[in-house]
Structure 1
Amino acid sequence: MATSYSLRTLLLVALSLYPESLVAEPGVLGLTFEKRRADPSTLPPSRLRKRASSAQATLYNSQGALLYLVNSTVGTPGQNIGLQLDTGSSDIWVPWAKSTVCTAKGSVCSSGSFDETKSSTFVEYAAGEFQIGYVDGTKIQGDYVNDTFSIAGASIKNMTMGLAKKSSSPNSSGSSPFQGIVGVGFDNGEALYSQSQGQTYPNIISQMVAQNVISVRAYSLWLNDLSATQGNILFGGVDDAKFNGNLVVLPLQVDSDSGIIDTFTVTFSGLEIDGNGGKTVYSVNSTAPVILDSGTSLTYLPDDIANAIIGGVGVINSQNYGYIVDCNVGNTAGIFKFKFGNANGPVIAAKISQFVIPFDPSLGAAPKFKSGATACQWGILPSGEDPNLFGDTFLRSAYVVYNLDANTVALAETNFNVKDTNIKQITASDAIPGATSTASGTAVQTHSGQISQTLGGFTGGASSTVASATSGTFDLGTATSSASSGSGSGGSGKTNGAGQLSPPTAFVGTIFTGVAVLVAMLGGSVMLLV
């Protein structure tokens, strides 16, 4: 029979389950992922393999569902569950196989769920005490549990997790999407921290160190190009074949509300945009705090900067399609140079194509402007009253080393689409391989709200409203091909003058009928599910 503990004793129980030092030497845990434009239900089964000293697993990014899914197993014997890997949160939670959500007709638990009665190592900690709320009104409730958690061939014993039994939303009929998460943020980003006066348990990164899987609470992230099929996450290591130049270390910033470092917040010091002929078409200085978060699809900048870019590029805010732009803009000469820290800080150059996102072709034909040009989604939006947040549209161009032990991140420009690897273990928190300098610069994170914007911007069914186009003010040059990232044909190959949107077709009303925006209260991550 499962043993149940109160929430107050959860911390003590979790700490008592730390194993003694294992025989194996710590190393690097690597996860290679594939990016797919598909519903999570179409994702292939787990594939595990080992190569050299790094265990390799498969992490799937579905651009249709906007998730990076890591194949994991929970329990003994292991039950396969696809979980979203998220730098903006800190808990692991898995859907309960017997929940109403998972057993209902048309179940949205297609990435897997967990049945505790089939695991010989399952322990229940605190029944009904796991709770996470989201800004759209969705609430996830369940139990704190303990079991074996495995990824990339490495088994983490005695892992504390949430077993999610209920999902409720005021905007649904009771079948909210139920996609589990493996959070790799700070321990103090856990749901328990805010519910129990600062208590935490050792989350997955802490357990990896405690069980000698890795030496330092650090990992590196390489999302790769928008159109690429593979990327990589390395726990406890750096792959210097995946970035250009040297890594530059940035100090993480203290949250003004909590008074601690609990997010991957760094100082954004400015932006330069180069256009036609390499000429600068926009430049701005800044001292804004920004959060680096792989759990968010888009990039959210201070309103004045984001709106200047939107006007300069010729982006339209459509009632039915959100922020959209002529796909041909992605084939112009635009280069965005993001600056961080002080004058000696890193500069990450990103091609404009990384912010021009084709609509998922599996959902139907992409919308077009009246001129015939194909519309794409735009990947930089104003943050409003919410935190400034650098999501996947920026992170694809940056190789990022998240160092929780040193309270730093290290940045370098991504080396796209390379097949070579040169993996080096991180053996000390103050000695990141490939890092040659440390930048300074401070910015206080004052926003405590959560990001609620969505990729796609659909607000409901089809509408007869026709959005008017505006001509961008940036001279980005002439597009070099007909459409960005295989988004389809159409358009004149020009950057401006897209015309007006054609009236929405019938497919519009169904594209995002099943979309629910789940924005974690902890870490400000965004999860969009189709």
Structure 2
Amino acid sequence: MKGLATFAASAGLLWACSEGLTLSRRTNASPKVVGFPVVRKSVPNPLKRDQLRRRSGTVKATLDNEETLYFANATLGTPAQTVRLHIDTGSSDLWVNTATSALCTAKGKVCTAAGTYSANDSSTYSYIASDFNITYVDGSGASGDYVTDNFTLGSTTLKTLQFGIGYTSSSPEGILGIGYQLNEVQVQRAGKSAYLNLPAQLVSDGLISSNAYSLWLNDLDASTGSILFGGVDTDQFQGTLATLPVQSESGGQYGEFLLTLTGLSFGDTVIAKDQAQAVLLDSGSSLTYLPDAMAEAIYDQVSAQYDSQEGAAYIPCSMASNSTTVGFTFSSPTIQVSMDELVIEISSSSGRPLTFSNGERACLFGIAPAGSSTPVLGDTFIRSAYLVYDLANNEISIAQTNFNATSNNVVEITTGTAAVPSATAVQNPVTATAGATNEAMAGTVTLGAGGTATATSKAKSGAMSTMPQMKLTALAVTLGMLYAAM
């Protein structure tokens, strides 16, 4: 996970929509939009953070932006208990730590900064069940109770919002999952019906008209960004929004924000074209994880050195000033990501900067190989895109972001089937045929009549670490090549 942005919460932009969505400005009333600032928080090792957070299987708020993680400040209970929550579009549950957990009582008091929740100290707490249990790829996660209590974000308060308490946890940060309800832990693990998570509850309470929200993380150097539930800020993006369908999963269900990546470029150099690669949009992931062949090709272009032990690449920090951009194409819209958004300063555990053996300062590169996992577009991509997540209609609208916007023009997303203002549906969007196994990476893709892509030649698959033919292995950065500068 990357940086945290701060989402400033303003009343009125959250609303529900069961059919389609229409964005319109109200003339006689404030728009039903809930917004809050998002704050960015620095993380010493964003790669390790991602490894801990990637799950197995699969109001205006200000977002704090601290290098690699995006957070919102909220309160739970009566009287209010303050918690800092990591904004995560890749999961769907809100959960927080309790102060009495082994993690939070251990030496170092690692939970102090993010805050904790005590059910016994809240007069409005209500117990539901002891089946909250979320697990990530490496076995880390949290488990405990599902409960309800009052939840306040910015100036908006929801009563009896359901969330999890981590009595056992391996992460000091609470998580605010705002994805599809189908992806909730009690649905996936306990086989129960979905509950109203934050976006759905905002709709149910009439605070927004549609289960939709927009995300603006701002650039890597900015301290804050914003999220708008039920609205769009047209001053925070350039040009027009392009609307793409979310790719459904087995049985035609929607559980994650999967788009189809059709092309990748570095400046005028085409890295991949005519692709049909499913990629997951995940604000909870600091880095972007691409199919191995794509990652290798990008590394060749930027002279990145891959460390197979870490599963990441390092790059001279001076590359941040390179004016060439990496282009991500989704059928027709292309989002350009500048190098200064992909070059991430890191340091050793002692706080000293890292250097290559020649003394040049080393930075983490914001693109890593996905291996056998589903490719992920994390914060190193999302910062350059303005995204509208329409859960009601299973669509994502996307545009090039407008960094450091100084004005606002908030428009409400209402119910209906009309297009989003300043948005156009992409014609004949490609449907993904390659997913976690990175199929069709080296193949030719033929577009069918409906825009469906089909691989017609050889595939290139497998994890980076099992591909000795790749040029990256010759560039592998051993631990001895990177060291803390004295």
- After TM superposition, the score normalised by the length of structure 2 is 0.78
1:189 paired with 2:183, answer yes
Aligned-partner SS, 2:187: helix
Aligned-partner SS, 2:275: strand
Q: Is the 8 A contact 1:468 1:500 kept in 2?
A: no
1:113 maps to which of 107, 111, 116: 116
Aligned match of 1:13: none
Aligned match of 1:305: 294
Aligned match of 1:528: none
- Measure how far apart 1:224 and its partner are: 1.2
Aligned match of 1:218: 212
Q: Which consecutive unaligned segments of at least 5 residues does structure 2 have?
A: 1-28, 45-58, 439-471
| Aligned residue runs from structure 1 range 186-265, under 5 A | 186-197=180-191, 199-256=193-250, 259-265=252-258
Higher relative contact order (CA 8 A, sep 6+): 2
Give 1:504's aligned amino acid: Y
Aligned match of 1:504: 483
1:61 maps to which of 65, 68, 88: 65
- 1:257-286 per-residue CA deviation (whole Å, 9 max, x = no partner) reads x64111110111101221xxxx43645331
Q: Is the 8 A contact 1:271 1:285 kept in 2?
A: no
| Aligned residue runs from structure 1 range 57-136, under 5 A | 57-63=61-67, 66-110=68-112, 111-126=114-129, 128-136=130-138
- 1:402-429 per-residue CA deviation (whole Å, 9 max, x = no partner) reads 0000100000001111111111111126
Aligned match of 2:259: 266
- Measure how far apart 1:506 and its partner are: 8.6
Give 2:65's aligned amino acid: N
Aligned match of 1:32: 37
2:333 maps to which of 346, 363, 366: 346
| Aligned residue runs from structure 1 range 114-513, under 5 A | 114-126=117-129, 128-167=130-169, 176-197=170-191, 199-256=193-250, 259-274=252-267, 279-280=268-269, 282-318=271-307, 322-341=312-331, 345-359=332-346, 364-428=351-415, 430=417, 431-439=419-427, 440-444=429-433, 446-447=435-436, 504-505=483-484
Superposed CA RMSD in Å reads 2.9
Q: Is the 8 A contact 1:368 1:501 kept in 2?
A: no
Cα gap change, 1:129 to 1:437, in 2 (>3 Å): closer
Give 1:357's aligned amino acid: I
- Measure how far apart 1:501 and its partner are: 6.8
Q: Is the 8 A contact 1:254 1:444 kept in 2?
A: no
Q: Find the aligned partners of 2:475 and 2:134 in 1 and give their Cα distance.
A: 41
Q: Is the 8 A contact 1:255 1:446 kept in 2?
A: no
Q: Is the 8 A contact 2:40 2:71 kept in 1?
A: no
Q: Find the aligned partners of 2:404 and 2:30 in 1 and give their Cα distance.
A: 31
Cα gap change, 1:469 to 1:357, in 2 (>3 Å): farther
Give 2:115's aligned amino acid: G
Q: Is the 8 A contact 2:362 2:482 kept in 1?
A: no
Give 1:314's aligned amino acid: S
- Measure how far apart 1:142 and its partner are: 0.6
Aligned-partner SS, 1:394: helix
Q: Is the 8 A contact 1:327 1:375 kept in 2?
A: yes
Q: Find the aligned partners of 1:358 and 1:368 in 2 and give their Cα distance.
A: 11
Q: Find the aligned partners of 1:101 and 1:260 in 2 and give their Cα distance.
A: 36
Cα gap change, 1:469 to 1:57, in 2 (>3 Å): same
Give 2:202's aligned amino acid: M
Q: Find the aligned partners of 1:135 and 1:500 in 2 and give their Cα distance.
A: 24
Aligned match of 1:482: none
- 1:173-214 per-residue CA deviation (whole Å, 9 max, x = no partner) reads xxx333211110000000011233352111111100011111
Q: Is the 8 A contact 2:151 2:157 kept in 1?
A: yes
Aligned match of 1:492: none
Aligned-partner SS, 1:62: coil
Cα gap change, 1:246 to 1:139, in 2 (>3 Å): closer
Q: Find the aligned partners of 2:365 and 2:182 in 1 and give their Cα distance.
A: 33
Cα gap change, 1:349 to 1:205, in 2 (>3 Å): same
Percent identity between matched residues is 39
Q: Is the 8 A contact 1:238 1:426 kept in 2?
A: yes
Q: Find the aligned partners of 1:69 and 1:102 in 2 and give their Cα distance.
A: 19
The structure with more radius of gyration? 1
- 1:284-338 per-residue CA deviation (whole Å, 9 max, x = no partner) reads 3311011111011111111111111112211112367741011122212311121
Cα gap change, 1:390 to 1:207, in 2 (>3 Å): same
- Measure how far apart 1:502 and its partner are: 5.2
- After TM superposition, the score normalised by the length of structure 1 is 0.71
Q: Is the 8 A contact 1:91 1:203 kept in 2?
A: yes
Q: Which consecutive unaligned segments of at least 5 residues does structure 1 have?
A: 1-23, 40-54, 168-175, 450-466, 472-497, 508-530
Q: Is the 8 A contact 1:293 1:389 kept in 2?
A: yes
Aligned match of 2:469: none
Aligned-partner SS, 2:209: coil
Q: Is the 8 A contact 2:62 2:224 kept in 1?
A: no
Q: Is the 8 A contact 1:273 1:337 kept in 2?
A: yes
Q: Is the 8 A contact 1:241 1:418 kept in 2?
A: yes
Q: Is the 8 A contact 1:255 1:445 kept in 2?
A: no
